[in-house]
Structure 1
Amino acid sequence: MKEGLTLFSSKYDWEIRPNKASSEQIKSLASDLGISQLVAQLLINRGFQDPDEIKHFLSPDTSDLNDPFLFNDMDKAIERIESAIAENEKITIYGDYDADGITSTSIIYETLLEIGANVTYYIPNRFKDGYGPNADVYKQLIADGTKLIITVDNGVSGYDAVEVANQLDCDVIITDHHELPDKLPNAYAIIHADLSPNYPFKELSGAGIAFKVATALSDEIPQEKLDLAAIGTIADLVSLTKENRALVQFGLNVIHLTERPGLKRLVKRNQVKIENIDEEDIGFKIAPSLNALGRMGDASQGVELLTTTDDQIADDLAKQTEKQNEERKTLVADLTEKATEIAESPENTKRNTLVINGRGWHTGILGIVASRLTDKFNKPTIVIGEDPETGIAKGSGRSISGFDLFQALHDSTDLMDAFGGHEMAIGLTIQSNNISQLADNLEQVATSQDIDCTKKPQLKLDYEVSADDINNDLYDDLALLSPFGTDNEKPAFAIKPNLLGSITIIGKTKEHLKFDIIGKNSKVGAIDFGAGQDATEIRELDRNLKVAGTIGKNEFRGRTNLQVMVSDLEVAGSVILDKRTNNLVAQMFEEDGQYLFFNPKLMDKLSRYLNANSEAQLASDFVAKNDYKKLFVVDCPPSLIDLKNVIKESNNSQITLYLFKPHLISNYGMPKREQYAKLFKFIKFHNNVSLRKHLKSISNELKINQNLLVFMIKVFNELGFVTINDGMMNTVASPQKQSLSSAVVYQRRLQEIEIENQLINLNQNALINLINEMQD
């Protein structure tokens, strides 16, 4: 760590969730259900009390899937679809370009094909058609012979498009789960949970709604569509509770049996073993690959990929999907770098909000970039891509907790051509010349609300554990609560290691950090994505960091090991820096802080080197002061207890140990009995010895180190065996018999050797451990 380096800081404010359960409740529930007390406590803390409800949560069954005909208009919709099939009317499924929309479309498309429908599908293009129903597209579909349009994962915002369809004698059935508008479309039927008072679960994804329609059409649970329902549900980040949890659990149970060649190849290209696939593989690999299609261009090939039965077509489409996803990753990385540079400009650094725009920026990835900037700077952020030819710009925004971005832009709608979203995320279309005014308006709203962008976002953790608590038994206990997701987050832990070891930078651009969390008896691997730039500081603080993260498994070269996925790192206690020295120089006193001395003469001599923002204090007068983050222990204490009294009292976030001692007497130790005998015999026959002149020759003659010899003479002098006047040593006739160890100078040397062995001669790890123990 460089001198004066800013202390490492966590990204979040950590909060351990309060325990809502009594020990009696925990024991009772654990006993009744045959689960560990940890799992029982987690369930209670997450709002579960009823054993029967918990049984269904841990092991869903088909009774957790609600009757699809409880949906309002489901009867009407099914009747119309069956009529279209009987009359061989052309049906077009109008989907959406994200993973939820692609899987929703695939579910309904396959179902209708299987029951003999004349069916096709249309996935709108993000750049050409925009989101949701497009009236011009509807006109074209109807002109091509469509008599019934079924929307999936969209539709409730398409009032105008439905009016066009009605005028052209085409019925529209809407299946959607998005927020209802003030004015509903005049559709033939609308299947939406919020319009269905009898339907008990309101959190289905687009794929979940599509699955319910498929169930109603098939008059049974379509087992072979569970894989798609699970992917769509996970991808759309809906609540993973109740019916959604059942759908995902069932889908994960059967996905390894899928007969979809496209899905098999997509899974393989994402380096996932289909027999072990879980919700994280889908959420972080499969879903982003499908989403990349819509972000980069035409998402309709996603439906073909998931529904084709041709192995060669499946292989070609999987390759194309992987290529699109890799291009998406590269674009995101490049644009994030450009946007970050703009965000770090002096002007933007002063702002509470960020509106970052650029010419020709790919509009399909703006939401991802906005999200990354929001995470990095903790500011509401809008990223806008301008079309230099048309002057039209499109943007996506992401917010921080406590700031409603949708409402903040409500009074600026006159500046925008299109605008939508919710509290945490928005999308907009705007003329380039209005961007500056929009940015100023947003900043004014943020300023008026007095948002504090310097305040760290909160990280909620379930437990605090030691590194030794992390083992396979804990992992297996936690796995009972999976699949994890929204409203059933993966349990997160604050972990206090003894040490972080094997700290390594990894990744193509060295952007990630890999290390071991080491306890007293065991260690576990950990990975911290995006923390590569902190490697130097983390190595310096390897004994002073707590780790926040979740527990998973990592397979490498055929071996599977536990691994902590790191969310954050936090300094625990004071940072101890070992700067022990036998030579003090002026540069060691340049930093602001408290400089602690045990030797008053040394303090008087060195105080003049301190700057105006520092203070010298004697250990005997030490008072902890909040004004100083750093404490410098300048010289070596006379005893360990003297140092402990200071360390225990201190509240400094950094303690630097100089422990200055110019000469180590422990290098010479204590004289042996025969050496004392030699000196005693020498002084018995020599008087008027000038120590100034003859000390070296006496040392040579007696073959006793000069340092030891001086000490021995001091002991003899104190005990009255010799007298020393003006540097002349003389023997004392018939001295009083006394133990050598009774001399004060003898005891003082023993104490000096002891403190040197306790502080100066320790290795760095042992020294830091000792100081940490003093703080407890």
Structure 2
Amino acid sequence: MLQSQANWKFTYSDSDNDIGLREEFSLAPVTERLLFQRGIVSKEQAEKFLHPSLEDLHDPVLMNDIGKAAERVHQAIAEGEKILVFGDYDADGVSSTAVMLEALRELGADCTFYIPNRFTEGYGPNEQAFRKAKTEGVDLIITVDTGIAAVEEAEIAREIGVDLIITDHHEVQEQLPAALAIVHPKCSTDYPFQELAGVGVAFKFAQHLLGYFPKHLLDLTVIGTIADLVPLVNENRVLAKFGLKAISQSNRPGIKALKKVCKIEGDITEEHIGFFIGPRINAVGRLQDADMAVDLLLTQDASEAEELAGFIQELNLERQKIVADIAKEAEALVEAGDTGEHVIVAAQEGWNEGVLGIVASKLVRKYDRPAIVLSINADKKQAKGSARSIDAFDLFKNCMEIRETFTHFGGHAQAAGMTLPVENLPILRNLLNDAAASKLTEEDYKQSLTIDSTVNIEELDVSIIKEINKLAPFGMSNPKPLFHVQAKPKEIRQIGSQQNHLKFSFQGEQKIVDGVAFGMGDLYHKISPRSTLDVIGELEINEWNGKQKVQLMVKDLAVNVWQLFDYRGSRHLSKQIPLELFQESLAVCFHEESMEQRVPAEVKVSLYSEDKLSYWERVNIDSLILLDLPERLDDLEHLLSRLKPDKIFACFYEKDGHFLEVLPSREDFKWFYAMMLQRKQFDMKKELDLLAKHKGWKQEKIKFISEVFFELEFVKIEDGLLKTNPHPAKKDLTEAPAYQKMQNRLEIEKTLYYSSYDELRAWFDPFMEKSGSPKEEVSHGL
């Protein structure tokens, strides 16, 4: 067996297949099932999902305070007042700033923008920035993607005589700022959709300000909508779908320059934004002022765009190195046990605040725990950083329950930012660990994979994947479908410069589908090439030299039956089985002379004995390495029945196997006895070699025949001289102990050493049956 790394949730049944949409939309059964999984069960719902329309977007006027906000903006433009767009330093905040600026400039506004420095100012509006804006003649501040928690800053704005309009989408806290207007979906009871990104809210405000639908802003809007990981349903799906078309065709020099440094050819997908464009825009604000990213998106100069994009590319490479270094240090703290058992709270001086969210995400993926990563400022005696969580632990809710621990706090269920006094670090660690310990079970810490469908290798083809891709863009609340495939790999091999990935060829009855498992190279020696694998993955189209093929991107895998690894006859086990696997397995031999042969010196080999079985049972052996053949099959049967390991490595090696020599036939015995009756005696010392050459027999065969006749008292042996017994009792050859021993040995070799893989596995099977069921979570009839 091989346990999956995640909990598998099979949330479908055969009845999901037929919801009456297949014929209407010419869908394959698997696509219809995917729609059902997403709650789409009517033709109207399917039409909107499969064919999104800009007409499906809600009227901005339904948003609270948007009329009041627009009236104040138009007044400012009419009176020549200076407007400041106050943004945020992430991809959502940068694209929100760009959208609002472009709309205001189109209206003729005197406007500029301000994004706080992550390191000197922190997140969100601040008093110093507001007072500076006032001295520069700003009369109106519009926040984008920020501001909903700026209670004190709103008071400052009122005090200094600056009107404040807040547009935001973050979680609403206990007290709302006393701003002139708050344009926020979650503060708008009449607005039908609550989950817009910050840029989505800015786009809606821009639409209301302009008085028409601004298609030309969709290429900017899609960046924050996808990069900020909001649910890609309802309005977000429409904005993302049309935004991807817009950004793919965009003539903005900044977009073109970004595509070039990201090496994106053709249409831009949600994955391009999520893994290439978004991280590069984020890198600017993580390491310095984010102004450059706004300038890149809005510049009309191609050469300036290329220069800015090149610099941003360099920043992103620097960011990657910084993340790797901090992650290594944070992991060392975790391994040392200094960060908490249930919730990781890692803090250290000198860590770059801008990348701590990425580091926290890495810790969550590696340790399956919520993680808070903080940089300590010794001068200010404060810790500041970011947090990421697991599905089962609502970070926002649990941190709000201990809000007094923080100086500043804000975020979502799965991500948050915070500042707190250094002396509160132990308090934070203890309180969150207590909360997690009381609320979470062991299974909650394990990542969950929700499987959309089980598919057969034979039904996979490029056309099916193209149809499934009609459900794109994929993201939160519309994840890329995960499929369960059960198949035997025709080939498994390690790939990558560090051999840390796996490449599969899965064999169906008539088809072969390739699979790639990134980061799973360490499982190579734990998967028997003959095992049937249960694989969870995403389906993609791999195109090479103009030819398209189905490819399975493996996210997790398991082997749900015991595994047999066949290394019989191998003289180089240490090259085939890595030392770590030897050390985590029980290596057993049945003969003392086998204990120091063919295994690394660091490996402890145990000699089989009945006394040791009870101890081996108690320590729960998962992996068993058998180094030699037993004297009796009963011993091996007893060992297997008691231990029932998940993996058996059959490493039997016979230097002088007897089975191929063949047990002497009865005709051979008759001939030899007839010779003895005729000659009366045979001198083993003088005549053994002559007889062996005459008959073409090995000397051991003659010695064996002689031993059998001696045990049956057909002959006497004195000093190597065989003489016939004139009056022998009638006995069968099988009564001789030597004959019985040879038969037993040959049966062992035939069963365990010279059998085929399938024959050997069939012999092991009866002793390997286990009670219980797989750990994967199964629901809805599966």
TM-score between both structures, scaled by the size of structure 2: 0.81
Give the residue type in structure 1 aligned to 2:278: A
Q: CA deviation at 1:317?
A: 0.8
| 8 Å CA contact 1:475, 1:551 repeated in 2 | yes
Q: Does 1:480 align with 2:470?
A: yes
Aligned 1:170-181 pairs, distance under 5 A: 170-181=162-173
Code of the residue aligned with 1:379 in structure 2: it is R
Instruction: Please tell me whether residue 427 in structure 1 is matched to residue 417 in structure 2.
Output: yes
1:4 matched to which residue of 2?
none
Query: Residues 527 and 330 of structure 1: is their aligned pair in 2 closer, same or farther, counting only changes over 3 Å?
Result: farther
Code of the residue aligned with 2:22 in structure 1: it is A
The answer to whether residue 491 in structure 2 is matched with residue 498 in structure 1 is: no
In structure 1, what is the equivalent of residue 645 of structure 2? 652
How much has 1:133 moved relative to structure 2?
2.1
Gaps of 5+ in 2: 572-580, 595-604, 770-782
* Equivalent residue in structure 1 for 2:125, among 133, 143, 167: 133
Per the alignment, residue 155 of structure 2 pairs with 163
Q: Secondary structure at the match of 1:276?
A: coil
Q: Which residue of 1 aligns with 2:613?
A: 615
SS of the aligned residue for 1:247 comes to helix
1:43 equivalenced with 2:35 (yes/no): yes
Q: Give 2:295's match in structure 1, choosing from 296, 299, 304.
A: 304
- 1:467-496 residue CA offsets vs partner (Å, 9 max, x unmatched): 666542442243122111111111123444
Superposed CA offset, 1:522-554 (max 9, x none): 55444444445x266457788476443322345
Secondary structure of residue in 1 paired with 2:259: helix
* Residue 103 (structure 1) shift: 1.0
The answer (yes or no) to whether the contact 1:582–1:661 under 8 Å persists in 2 is no
2:101 to 109, 117, 132: 109
Change (3 A) 1:172 1:408: closer
8 Å contact from structure 2 (residues 381, 421) kept in 1: yes
Segment drifting more, 549-558 vs 219-228: 549-558
Which one of the candidate residues 69, 73, 80 is aligned to 1:88?
A: 80
Amino acid at match of 2:408: A
User: Cα offset for 1:462?
Assistant: 2.8
Q: Deviations over 1:203-252 (max 9, x none)?
A: 11111112222322333332222222221111111111121111111122
Change (3 A) 1:549 1:769: farther
Q: Deviation of residue 177 (structure 1)? A: 1.3
Is the partner of 2:192 in helix, strand or coil? coil
Distance 1:191 1:762, change over 3 A: same
Does residue 76 (structure 1) correspond to residue 71 (structure 2)? The answer is: no
Q: Is the 8 A contact 2:586 2:606 kept in 1?
A: no
Distance in 2 between residues matched to 1:104 and 1:33, nearest whole Å: 36
Cα distance in structure 1, aligned partners of 2:117 and 2:583: 62
Instruction: Give 5+ residue unaligned stretches, structure 1.
Output: 1-6, 618-622
CA contact (8 A) 2:226 2:270 kept: yes
Q: Residue 372 of structure 2 corresponds to which residue in structure 1?
A: 382
Shift of 1:750: 9.4
SS at structure 1 position matched to 2:35:
helix
Q: Tell me the equivalent position of 2:507.
A: 519
Residue 166 of structure 1: how far off its partner (Å): 3.3
Residue 18 of structure 1 corresponds to 11
CA shift in 2, pair 1:19/1:650, >3 Å: farther
Cα 1:352–1:62 change in 2 (3 A) is: closer
User: 1:336 touches 1:373 (CA, 8 Å); kept in 2?
Assistant: yes
Which residue number corresponds to residue 602 of structure 2?
Answer: none
Aligned position for 1:192: 184
Q: What's the counterpart of residue 447 of structure 2?
A: 457
**Paired AA for residue 363 in structure 1:** E
* Structure-1 residue corresponding to 2:332: 341
Aligned-pair CA distance for 1:85: 2.7
Q: Which amino acid aligns with 2:646?
A: S
Please, which moves more after superposition, 418-427 or 128-137? 418-427
Does the Cα contact within 8 Å between 1:21 and 1:41 map onto a contact in 2?
Answer: no
Determine if contact 2:589/2:606 at 8 Å carries over to the other structure.
no
Separation in 2 of the partners of 1:388 and 1:19? 53
| CA deviation string 1:81-107 (max 9, x = no partner) | 333333333222211111111111111
CA contact (8 A) 2:252 2:298 kept: yes
Q: Cα–Cα, structure 1 residues 219 and 454, in superposed 2: closer, same or farther, change >3 Å?
A: closer
Are positions 1:366 and 2:360 aligned together? no
Q: 1:421 to 1:76 in 2, by over 3 A?
A: closer
The question of whether the paired residues in 1 share the 8 Å contact of 2:628 and 2:651 is answered with yes
Q: Secondary structure at the match of 1:288?
A: helix
Shift in Å, 1:193: 1.6
Indicate the RMSD between aligned Cα atoms, in angstroms: 4.6
Letter in 2 for 1:207: V
Closer, same or farther in 2 for the Cα pair 1:314/1:511, shift >3 Å? Answer: farther
Report the AA paired with residue 519 of structure 1: Q
Q: Following superposition of structure 1 onto structure 2, how do residues 159-308 of structure 1 map, counting pairs within 5 Å?
A: 159-273=151-265, 275-308=266-299
Secondary structure in 2 matching 1:489: coil
Deviation at 1:757, TM superposition (A): 5.9
Residues 1:34 and 2:26 are matched in the alignment: yes
Looking at structure 2, the residues matched to 753 and 468 of structure 1 have their Cα atoms a distance apart, in angstroms, of 44
Structure 2 CA distance for partners of 1:758 and 1:46, relative to 1, 3 Å:
farther
**Secondary structure class of the residue paired with 1:567:** strand
Q: Provide closer, same or farther for how the CA distance between residues 379 and 263 of structure 1 changes in structure 2, counting only shifts above 3 A.
A: same
1:3 — aligned with what? none
CA deviations over 1:598-630 (Å, ceiling 9, x no partner): x9xx9xxxx99447983189xxxxx99995545
Deviation at 1:438, TM superposition (A): 3.5
Change (3 A) 1:70 1:303: same
How far off its partner does 1:697 sit? 3.3
Aligned length: 742
- Structure 2 match to 1:620: none
Query: Cα distance 1:408–1:613, how it changes in 2: closer, same or farther (>3 A)?
Result: farther
Relative distance call for 1:760 and 1:20 in structure 2 (3 A) is closer
Residues 1:754 and 1:613: Cα distance change in structure 2 (over 3 Å): closer
Aligned amino acid, residue 354 of structure 1: I
> Structure 2 CA distance, aligned partners of 1:269 and 1:316?
11
State which drifts further: 130-139 or 496-505: 496-505
Amino acid at match of 2:425: I
- Is the 8 Å Cα contact of residues 613 and 642 (structure 2) preserved in structure 1? no
Where does residue 327 of structure 1 map in the other structure?
A: 318
Which residue in the other structure is 2:578 paired with?
A: none
1:318 aligns with 2:309: yes
> How far did residue 499 of structure 1 move?
3.5
Cα distance change on mapping 1:729 and 1:609 into 2, 3 Å: same
Give the superposition deviation at 1:514.
3.7
Identity %: 33
Give the deviation of 1:322 after TM superposition: 0.8
Summarize the alignment of residues 709-720 of structure 1 with structure 2, pairs less than 5 Å apart. 709=702
Bigger Cα displacement from structure 2, 53-62 vs 438-447: 438-447
Query: Which secondary structure does the structure 2 equivalent of 1:356 belong to?
Result: strand
Structure 1 residue identity aligned to 2:388: R
C-alpha deviation, 1:319, in angstroms: 0.8
Would you say the 8 A contact 2:589–2:608 is kept in 1?
Answer: no
Q: Bigger CA drift: 300-309 or 213-222?
A: 213-222
- Deviation of the 1:282 alpha carbon: 0.8
Q: CA deviation at 1:291?
A: 1.0
Letter in 2 for 1:615: L
Structure 2 residue corresponding to 1:576, chosen from 544, 561, 564: 564
The question of 1:353 aligning with 2:334 is answered no
| In 1: Cα distance, 2:452 partner to 2:726 partner | 76
Cα distance change, pair 463–21 in 1 and its aligned pair in 2 (3 A)? closer
Does the C-alpha gap of structure 1 residues 413 and 207 become closer, same or farther in structure 2, counting only changes over 3 Å? closer
* Higher alpha-carbon deviation: 675-684 or 376-385: 675-684
Q: Tell me: CA distance 1:744–1:60, structure 2 relative to 1, closer, same or farther (3 Å).
A: farther
Q: What is the rounded CA distance, in whole Å, between the counterparts of 1:421 and 1:696 in structure 2?
A: 91
Q: CA–CA distance in 2 between the matches of 1:448 and 1:19?
A: 31
Read off the aligned partner of 1:225 and give its amino acid letter: L
Q: TM-score, normalised by structure 1?
A: 0.82
